[in-house]
Amino acid sequence: MLRYTIRRLLGLIPVIFGISLVVFLLLRIIPGDITITILGERASPQQRAQLRQQLGLDRPLFLNLENPDELFDTQYVDFMGDLLRLDLGDSLLHRRPVLTELRERFPATVELTVTALFIAILLGVPLGIVAAIKRGSFTDASALIVALLGVSIPIFWLGLMFQYLFAINWRILPISTRLDPDLARGFQNITGLYTIDGLLRGRPEVTLNALKHLIMPAFVLSTVPLAIIARMTRSSMLEVLGQDYIRTARAKGLHGRIVIVRHALRNALLPVVTVIGLQAGLLLSGAILTETVFSWPGIGTWLLDAILGRDYPIVQGGVIFVALIFVIVNLLVDLSYAFLDPRIHYT
């Protein structure tokens, strides 16, 4: 197990290296002339040359072959050096360190995605179980419909519909952002998760207000994982319920509920755990759209604004960070199989 973990960790190195290379190249080669995009097409050649120099874009990309004494005095080496020192540079538009902004934005996305995943699990798993036990019933049919609609509804549209219904028409939930402005003013964060910070600071009204803001975007974001989890739970449960040992347990005269909970569920949930882990990528993708619809000040809106505003330092640092999180979560999911399924041995 330890050897497998180490091997997987080493295997991450080329992928992370590749991610940094893609981000580096995407911003330097494909866009043609960055200076035109920043300064506009009317900028004079001198202005553009000056900006190129300022950004260090006039230097060689990978190896300085013209001057072998300074072979590694190149853009990529500097870029990687800064990255390894966690120096992500300053935002071009906000003139603040990218890392500082990342720290402010990340908790908002964590709060949103983790809540969404909780909703998806809390609704999806029971729905799948009941659907499998009562196969062919009304519950089963509705579970299948939920599973189908969940993957077919564009979540940005669902977000807009919810905003209309709950915030504009019925006025029971706030339409966007994380907290009412008068509560947010002067409130000192601890973890950056308002729902928790409100309790830590002894201000339950902040927690309550944060929850009110959170529920709509989190539910919207949960739809796709909810659908996938419900579907997976149902089919996995059906497969297990058809096994011989379930029949044996029933034949022994065990109570139906004990058979389901102790014999079936434990085995059926294994593939579900896998599927839950795989939702991390979907949640991050979905978060970009959900955050946009609900003006949620997280990583998604931050990156989108940076990409649209051509704020390259943020794009570089942010995209690499998100990809890193994604890769690490996937690794943890892979490793968790070994703990959960004693039949799997990694060598």
Partner 1 sequence: MSSSVTTAEGVVTLDQRRQRGLWGDAWRRLLRSSSGRIGLGITIFLVLIAIFIPLLMPYNPATDRNFPRRLLKPSWLLSEDVREQKNIDLLEHPFGTDDLGRDIFRRVLHGTPISLTAGLFTVSMAVVFGSLLGLIAGYLGGWFDTVASWVMDILLAFPSILLAIAIVSASNSPTAFTSRLGNAVSSLPVLRTIFDPQLFNAMLAVAIVEIPIFGRIARSTVIAVRHQEYVTAATALGVSGPRTLFRHILPNSLAPMLVQATLSIATAIISVAALSFLGLGAQRPRPEWGRMLADARQYLLQGSWWYITFPGLAIMLTVLGINLLGDGLRDALDPRLKSKD
Q: Which chain residues interact with partner 1 by CB under 8 A?
A: 14-15, 18-19, 21-23, 26-27, 30-34, 36-37, 41, 148-149, 151-154, 156-158, 160-161, 163-164, 168-169, 281-282, 284-286, 288-289, 292-293, 303-304, 307-308, 310, 315, 319, 322-323, 326-327
The residue (of 148 and 340) whose beta carbon lies closer to partner 1 is 148
Looking at 68-173, list the stretches that DSSP marks H as alpha helix, in order from N- to C-terminal side: 75-84, 98-133, 138-152, 155-162
Q: How far is the CB of 10 from partner 1 (least distance, A)?
A: 14
Residue 182 neighbours by CB distance under 10 Å: 9
**167: which 2 tokens?**
């915030």
CB of 122 to partner 1, least distance (A): 24
Distance between CA atoms of residues 340 and 336, nearest Å: 6
Nearer to partner 1 (CB atom), residue 17 or residue 118 = 17
Cβ proximity to partner 1: between 195 and 222 the closer is: 222
CB 198 to partner 1: min, Å: 28
**Which residue, 194 or 296, is less far from partner 1 as judged by CB?**
296
DSSP classification of residue 94: T
To partner 1, the closest distance from the beta carbon of 107 in angstroms equals 18
Question: For the chain, give me the number of helices (H) and strands (E)?
Answer: 15, 0
- Looking at residue 272, its amino acid is V
CB 101, CB 94: distance < 8 Å: yes
Closer residue to partner 1 in complex, CB, 19/237: 19
For residue 166, what is the DSSP state?
Answer: I
In the complex, minimum distance from the CB of residue 4 to partner 1, in angstroms, rounded to a whole number: 18
Angle between helices 2-28 and 312-340 (to 10 degrees): 160
- Per the CB < 8 A criterion, the answer to whether 178 and 108 are in contact is yes
Q: Which is nearer to partner 1, 115 or 163 (CB)?
A: 163
Alpha carbon distance 123, 230 (integer Å): 8
What is the closest distance, in whole angstroms, from the C-beta atom of residue 101 to partner 1 in the complex?
17
